[in-house]
Amino acid sequence: MRSDRIKKGLETSPHRSLLRATGLKDEDFGDKPWIGVANSFNNIIPGHIHLNQIAERVMDGIRDAGGVPFVWGVPGICDGIAMGKGEGMNYSLPSRDHIADNIELMVGAHSFDGWVGVTNCDKITPGMLMACGRINLPALIITGGPMMPGNTNGQSTDLITCFEAIGQAKVNKISEDEVEKIEKTCCPGAGSCAGLFTANSMACMTETLGLSLENCAAMPAIDLDKIELAYNTGKRAVELVRKDLKPRNFVSEKSFENAITVDMCIGGSTNTVLHLPAIASEFDISLPLEKFDEISRKTPNLTHISPSGADEMVDLYKAGGIPAILNRLNTINLLNTDEQTVNLKTIGEIAEGAAVLNNNVIRTISDAYSKQGGLAILKGNIAPSGSVVKVAAVSEKMMCHEGPARIYNSEKEAMKAILTPNNIKEGDIIVIRFMGPKGAPGMPEMLSPTSAVAGMGLIESVALLTDGRFSGGTRGPCIGHIEPEAWDKGPIAILKEGDIIQIDIPNRAVNVKVSAEEIEKRFKEFKLPERSLSGFLNKYVQTLD
């Protein structure tokens, strides 16, 4: 075992003396595996406030299986809190890579034999999955589970209800008192936000990749079975070490195809298109953007979980969770069934052992919401390298749309315009640029603008485009991840106020009605805006060059 570097030998006596100061005994330096526990607990993020309890049970499982647990803290940023205020969201995406580094540092420096990731939110889970592939020591992940939905005036509510309430109040659809009531009731306690937003989408990806125990993703944070699952996760970590089973024994290119298939079936966050390729890269696997569209075209969309519909993650759990989704997909041969998992059985075996418990939440194939998946990749002269839209959350009325561009060079500028009465009109296409990884920097989410538009009742008449990204809670014709980004002199940089933009989701196209000659002329006149960066964000941008 790797830990023998410290456990054995005269030369490492000083190392052991330090560990004895932490409480280790003679028996801990024998044949017991040393298992790290990367715990992202904090009391800032609702999805993380209960993770100490989960981490403790993971460590109980490790001890009872004959291992020695070591725990440390992993940082976490709450996108909902950081969203749209100052530079907070600039730090969110860069934190993903920082988390992967954190785990590599701790596991590498302390000679652990394996590790468990205790996680739950948007960038924390992807960062831990990246670390799984990079380090390739025995590992598995436990996600903390979704929050229960809130209840406001007898109606099911969640965080997106509150974001959209702002727009409703601005057009006098509801009062500020009603917004406050939603604020106080929509997020009732521990867990990642209740809908199929980025945190829960990535939990579903983790389970499908085979790196968390069965039924982990949709199981609510407050469910007592989550504590039992944590205990079994700890025990399984020791078993993986003893059998020398590593993430790359479980995760292959076909595992990522399974994950994308599930993503398209459930209509997950557009951010999966950002995170899955980054995770795949750490496994030395290439996951091109075209793969998402290829799989989307043959995968039916079977669920409409918030923001796409009224169901929440707890409804998916009661309907059978990810195993039930796998079962449904297996009936039409869309899964790579031989892929192994940390459950020590294949994806096919999990699918065959599951059942759909509610056909209203997980529809039958013949009753699918659509024959194609929940995400689509669009290209055109605005996005030569591609862009992403959550089709499952777009009204039929907006699948094809043409309208004038309303140009904004920051989220703050766009929000001011959106919330100005009678400024944004039906048919408009809001363009928010310089929001990409380099341009913002950090590629912040545009949930505030999209929610404001939805709350104002314009989601079926106004579209949004950005080289940044949208929240998993965004709904409507919102096209993000436009590449190349404006800072890299992508065509979005030279769009002008009033340019006519055409969106054709069925044909996967997004174009501006401007000639190639005019585009070339505009680029000759284009200059990047001036800015000054320092500290962490400056370091992050340098890694992107």
Neighbouring residues of 141: CB distance < 8 A, sequence distance ≥ 6: 116, 117, 119, 125, 128, 129, 132, 206, 211, 212
Annotate 157-223 with three-state secondary structure.
ECHHHHHHHHHHHHCCCCCHHHHHHHHHHCCCCCCECCCCCHHHHHHHHHHHHCCCCCCCCCCCCCC
233 DSSP 8-state letter = H
Neighbouring residues of 411: CB distance < 8 A, sequence distance ≥ 6: 84, 432, 435, 444, 446, 448, 449, 468
Of the candidates 336, 403, 328, the residue with the CA atom closest to the CA atom of residue 358: 328
3-state secondary structure at position 329: helix
- Compute the distance between CA of residue 545 and CA of residue 541 in angstroms, rounded to an integer: 7
- Compute the distance between CA of residue 134 and CA of residue 247 in angstroms, rounded to an integer: 9
- Compute the distance between CA of residue 195 and CA of residue 199 in angstroms, rounded to an integer: 9
| Helices 253-266 & 321-330 angle (0-180, nearest 10) | 100
- Tokens 């169901």 locate to 311
And the tokens for 529? 């805006």
And the tokens for 435? 């929001």
- Tokens 């601005």 locate to 170
Q: Are 254 and 336 in contact (CB under 8 A)?
A: yes
Burial class, 452, CB count within 10 angstroms (exposed 0-12 / middle 13-18 / buried 19+): buried
The residue type at 500:
I
The answer to whether the bond into 477 is cis (omega within 30° of 0) is no
- Residue tagged active-site, from 92, 451, 471, 532: 471
Burial letters for 120-149: b for 16+ Cβ neighbours within 10 Å, e otherwise? bbbbbbbbbbbbbbbbbbbbbbbbbbbbbb
471 is catalytic: yes
The residue type at 59:
M
35 DSSP 8-state letter = E
The residue type at 49:
I
The residue type at 409:
N
- Compute the distance between CA of residue 41 and CA of residue 453 in angstroms, rounded to an integer: 34
State the maximum Cα–Cα separation within the chain, in Å, rounded to a whole number: 77
- Tokens 């009204």 locate to 395
Q: Are 122 and 95 in contact (CB under 8 A)?
A: no
Pinpoint the alpha helices (H) of 283-382: 289-296, 313-318, 321-330, 347-352
- Compute the distance between CA of residue 136 and CA of residue 152 in angstroms, rounded to an integer: 46
- Compute the distance between CA of residue 198 and CA of residue 152 in angstroms, rounded to an integer: 23
And the tokens for 410? 């920051």
The residue type at 418:
I
- Residues with catalytic annotation? 471
